[in-house]
Each structure stands twice: as structure tokens, then as C-alpha cells.
């Protein structure tokens, strides 16, 4: 046992990839297959080199040839090979073969796994850095059903060999985490970057499934990807399942509505409905190729500097009940959000926002980190055909309705604002409901906290019932009884 000296700092020592692979190999019950396509057999290489692999590795293969791969896993309808569907087929096929070829009575204690990845590394011209799907299907007891962890990665390195090595380390981390950190999914998530750095690889989607992960909310896992700096944006759909942003946004028309949605109010839904109608009436915008996104930033999720995970899930639950796609981002400035969208589409992009949020865009303090200042930010924000659909604001002091015609920006910004206004980049939402302009999420929360009547009418149909039934946002049984 090493000596402890005065002044030593206690820290958790991260085991090396070799140590992780060796621990797996020395377990006489863990037994499985490796199927790796697109970047060599980088993960299984660690297990071979660690020693004692004969009791762990049932098979290692790389079906690189497309025809050969199709003969094993079947032909994909879209003709693509680096997809989640392909990965799932690989995992399921190899587990089925293992179960078929090894009789349980001869191997009563074995716990099987199937690890797979299907990736494409950086191209020769170094324009496309590559991406891929990585996953494991595994059991922790011979008599239980299989669990599954699937993730999507984007490579950041500019050398194919480095990307291969990074993928190999990531694979070791995933297998080790599945067996030894499965009871702590948050820690498992962080461990995927053991012996790696975030400048090497980005993880922008992850899904846990199976009996061992029945308590895991994948929406929370998505939030943690952004919170931990593993990616800048994640998405999940109305069913609560995580979505791959690159797939959802690819060549799509995008309309985004940013807010805290704590809780979602009639104002939010009025803005959404009217902005959607205006956006769909734009030229070259078709409903079937349009994605509408409710976006929440990490800043909007923070309470006193910390992110309240339960509060996040409560907001997510309400938005999902309204059948909306939700995106969590680390883009405090709007121009960064538009830049992100522009990575995946050259189609139309629209932003729906209130007057107060729009005025903040013209505050120079947000762009001090840019060499070109606010002009550079606006060049990125009003990308090509981008339009802002502006929802009016009622002045609480004077009762005046603020629109694009009478909003107030800093005197230095007036001419800049006029340029975008007169070029049709700012469109007023006119058919709004004037009776709900006094509705604010903050007011609703205060009324709930004080046990007051009337907040229910400020929310979309069905939302108040969910808050009461699920006791969201601090709603207690005592308040419910008081209101009744």
C-alpha cells in the first residue's frame, strides 16, 4: 500500500484502457462478440493485448465489404450503413448467434454481450470528419433479459488513425461501464471520456434500455450530455426518446421557439401556432419537410447557478404532452443556434420570439468575445433567408403594445435594426390573442406556490391537470385540497 504524505490531494484514479480490458478478461463469466465496421478492429485490439482474452472473446469480426455485410445483417432500405438501425441489427444478430451456438447447460454461469460499432472516419479531403454509432447489448445474469446502451459520436480529430484509436478507447470504456458502473448511469456517462478528451470526440445522443435501466429517463441523460460538455445540443421527441439532431435537421426547414417553459403557457402556444402558420406560408417551405423545435438553453434551466434535474424533467413532461420536439442547447446567443442549424441544412430557418428577447439581441455586451463584435454576430444570425417572427409585448406600466414598429433599441443600434426591419427579416405576428398578453410563467409559478386560483386558465388545455395530478413545480396535495 503506497504511503500517504502530508499535503496529498485525494482524487479518483482513472484505470487505463488496458486495466479495464484486463478486468473484463479475467472475469470468467463475461463472454461475447465484437463486430466493428469502418475503423478497424480498434476496440477488440485492447482486449487481445491486455491478456487472458480467450475466455472473453467469442468472436471478433469486421464485415467491411458491403455485399458481405448485407448477407450477414440484411439490406437496409435506405442503402446506408452508418445508422442506428444497422447497429441494432448487428447487436441483435450476434447475440442470437451466441445464444444458438452455446448451450446454457454447458455454460450455466456465462453472461453474454455483443459489442458493435459502425462508423465512417475522416474523408481523404478532410472536409467531413466522420461519425458513427457505438453500442453494447449485454446481460448481468444468465437468466435475465438483455440491456442495451447505444450512442452516436462525431469525430473531431483530423487524422483517421487518431480517430480509430479514440474509437477503441471509447469502446473499452463503454463495455467496462456497462458491467461495472451500470448502477450509476450518470457516472457511466462521464466514464465514457476516461483516457479521452472532449476535443477528440463528441457524443450527441445516448439511449439506455432494458431491465437494469428501467428507471433511467433518457431525456435526463441527454441533458447531462450538454451539461457535461460532451455536446452542445441534444433532442428528444414527444415520446420522450432521444433523437439524433443531425438526422432530424438534415436538409429540413427549421422553426425554433426558445423559452423557459416553466411552465408552458397560452402565450407560448399562441406564439408557436401563429409563427408556424407564417413560416409554412413562406416560399419553398413544405410542412412535410419542416421541423418545429421548442428550445431550452442551459441558462434557462439553471436555478441559482445550478441545474435542477427534476425541474427539467417536469418541463420536458409538459412539452412532450403537447407533442413537441424539444432541444436542449448550450447556445446562449441566438447566432450560435443558427450557426448550429446551418451545419445541417441550407433550407429556410425561422426564429419565433417575443419583443423583449428580440431587443436583447441588440445588446453589444453579448458579443464582446467576437473580433467583429455585433456585426459579426448579426452576419451569422441572419443567415441567408432567416426570419424572426415577432410576438408583441404589452407594456405593464402603460398598457402599450410593443411590436417591430415601436420597439426601442439602443440609439447606436437603431440603423442596424432598420436595415433588418426594412429588408423583411423581422415579421410581426399580428393575429395574436390580446387577452393573454398579461400571462407570464413567473406569475403562474407564484400563484401555484401561494395556492391561488386562476392560474389554470393561463395554461394550454390539459396542462393544469398534469401539474395537479403529477404535483409538478412544487404543487402539493395540500394545495390541491385547498383549491378544491
pLDDT, one tens digit per residue, over 430-465 is: 999 999 999 999 999 999 988 888 999 999 999 999
| Average pLDDT of the segment spanning 252-276 | 95
Give the pairing of strands 233-236 and 201-209. unpaired
pLDDT of 439 reads: 94
**CA–CA dist 221, 241 (Å, integer):** 11
Q: Please, which pLDDT band fits residue 122 given cuts at 50, 70 and 90?
A: confident
The whole-chain average pLDDT of the chain stands at 91
Q: How far is CA 89 from the centre of its chain?
A: 23
CA atoms within 13 A on the CB side of 31: 18
Q: What is the pTM of this model?
A: 0.91
**CA–CA dist 367, 416 (Å, integer):** 15
Whether pLDDT at 481 is above 50:
no
Q: Which range, of 79-93, 242-256, 438-452, 464-478, averages the lowest pLDDT?
A: 464-478
pLDDT of 241 reads: 87
SS3 406: coil
Those residues whose C-beta lies under 8 Å from the C-beta of residue 448, and which sit 6 or more positions away, are 455, 467, 473, 474, 475, 479
Whether pLDDT at 215 is above 60:
yes
**CA–CA dist 46, 171 (Å, integer):** 9
**CA–CA dist 291, 235 (Å, integer):** 12
445-484 per-residue burial string, b: 16 or more CB within 10 A, e: under 16: eeebeeeeeebeebbbeebbebbbeeebbebeeebeeeee
Burial of 399 (0-12, 13-18, 19+ CB in 10 A): exposed
pLDDT of 2 reads: 66
Between 13 and 134, residue with greater pLDDT: 134
The DSSP element (H or E) to which 204 belongs, if any, is strand 201-209
| Average pLDDT of the segment spanning 394-413 | 92
pLDDT of 180 reads: 97
pLDDT of 127 reads: 75
Those residues whose C-beta lies under 8 Å from the C-beta of residue 450, and which sit 6 or more positions away, are none
Per the CB < 8 A criterion, the answer to whether 223 and 315 are in contact is: no
pLDDT digits (tens, 9 = 90+) for 328-381: 999 999 999 999 999 999 999 999 999 999 999 998 888 988 899 999 999 888
Q: Please, which pLDDT band fits residue 20 given cuts at 50, 70 and 90?
A: very high
Between 286 and 103, residue with greater pLDDT: 286
Q: How far is CA 319 from the centre of its chain?
A: 15
Per the CB < 8 A criterion, the answer to whether 233 and 331 are in contact is: yes
Residues above pLDDT 70, as percent of the chain: 97
Which segments within 21-146 are labelled E, that is strand? Answer: 30-37, 57-61, 111-120, 131-138
Longest dimension (CA), the chain: 82
Whether pLDDT at 483 is above 50:
no
User: Position of cell 479518483?
Assistant: 12
User: Which DSSP string do the residues of 295-344 spell out, in sequence order?
Assistant: EEEHHHHEETTEE-HHHHHHHHHHHHHTT-EEEEE---SHHHHHHHHHTT
Nine cell digits for residue 42: 480498434
Burial of 431 (0-12, 13-18, 19+ CB in 10 A): exposed
pLDDT of 476 reads: 65
Amino acid at each position: 500500500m503506497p504511503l500517504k504524505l502530508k499535503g496529498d490531494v485525494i482524487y479518483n484514479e482513472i484505470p487505463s484502457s488496458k486495466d479495464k480490458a484486463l478486468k473484463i478478461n479475467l472475469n470468467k463469466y463475461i463472454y461475447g462478440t465484437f463486430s466493428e465496421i469502418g475503423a478497424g478492429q480498434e476496440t477488440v485490439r485492447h482486449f487481445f493485448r491486455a491478456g487472458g482474452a480467450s475466455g472473453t472473446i467469442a468472436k471478433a469480426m469486421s464485415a467491411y465489404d458491403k455485399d458481405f455485410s448485407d448477407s450477414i445483417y440484411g439490406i437496409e432500405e435506405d442503402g446506408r450503413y452508418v445508422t442506428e438501425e444497422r447497429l441494432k441489427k448487428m447487436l441483435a444478430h450476434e447475440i442470437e448467434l451466441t445464444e444458438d451456438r452455446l448451450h446454457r447447460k454447458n455454460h450455466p454461469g456465462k453472461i453474454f454481450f455483443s459489442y458493435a460499432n459502425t462508423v465512417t472516419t475522416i474523408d481523404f479531403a478532410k472536409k467531413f470528419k466522420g461519425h458513427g454509432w457505438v453500442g453494447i447489448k449485454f446481460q448481468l445474469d444468465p437468466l435475465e433479459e438483455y440491456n442495451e446502451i447505444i450512442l452516436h459520436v462525431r469525430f473531431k480529430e483530423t487524422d483517421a488513425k487518431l480517430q480509430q484509436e479514440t474509437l477503441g478507447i471509447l469502446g473499452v470504456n463503454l463495455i467496462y461501464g456497462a458491467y461495472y458502473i451500470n448502477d450509476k448511469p450518470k457516472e457511466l456517462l462521464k466514464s465514457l471520456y476516461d483516457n479521452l478528451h472532449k476535443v477528440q470526440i463528441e457524443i450527441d445522443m445516448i439511449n439506455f434500455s432494458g431491465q437494469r435501466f428501467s428507471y433511467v429517463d433518457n431525456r435526463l441523460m441527454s441533458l447531462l450530455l450538454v451539461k457535461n460538455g460532451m455536446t452542445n445540443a441534444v433532442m428528444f421527441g414527444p415520446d420522450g426518446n432521444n433523437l439524433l439532431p443531425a438526422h432530424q435537421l438534415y436538409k429540413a426547414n427549421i422553426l425554433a421557439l426558445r423559452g423557459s417553459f416553466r411552465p408552458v403557457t397560452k402565450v407560448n402556444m399562441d406564439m408557436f401556432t401563429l409563427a408556424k402558420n407564417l413560416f409554412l406560408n413562406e416560399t419553398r417551405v413544405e410542412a412535410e419537410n419542416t421541423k418545429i423545435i421548442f428550445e431550452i438553453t442551459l441558462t434557462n434551466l439553471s436555478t441559482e447557478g445550478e441545474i435542477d434535474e427534476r425541474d427539467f424533467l417536469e418541463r420536458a413532461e409538459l412539452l412532450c404532452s403537447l407533442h413537441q420536439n424539444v432541444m436542449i442547447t448550450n447556445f446562449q446567443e441566438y447566432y450560435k443556434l443558427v450557426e448550429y442549424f446551418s451545419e445541417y441544412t441550407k433550407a429556410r430557418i425561422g426564429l419565433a420570439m417575443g419583443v423583449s428577447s428580440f431587443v436583447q439581441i441588440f445588446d453589444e455586451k453579448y458579443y464582446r468575445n467576437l473580433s467583429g463584435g455585433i456585426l459579426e454576430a448579426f452576419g451569422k444570425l441572419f443567415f441567408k433567408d432567416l426570419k424572426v417572427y415577432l410576438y408583441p409585448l404589452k407594456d405593464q406600466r402603460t398598457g402599450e403594445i410593443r411590436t417591430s414598429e415601436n420597439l426601442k433599441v439602443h440609439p447606436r443600434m437603431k440603423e442596424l435594426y432598420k436595415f433588418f426591419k426594412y429588408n423583411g427579416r423581422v415579421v410581426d405576428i399580428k393575429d395574436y390573442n390580446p387577452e393573454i398578453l398579461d400571462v407570464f410563467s413567473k406569475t403562474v409559478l407564484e400563484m401555484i406556490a401561494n395556492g391561488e386560483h386562476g392560474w389554470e386558465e393561463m395554461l394550454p388545455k390539459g396542462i393544469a391537470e398534469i401539474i395537479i395530478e403529477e404535483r409538478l413545480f412544487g404543487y402539493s396535495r395540500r394545495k390541491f385540497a385547498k383549491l378544491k
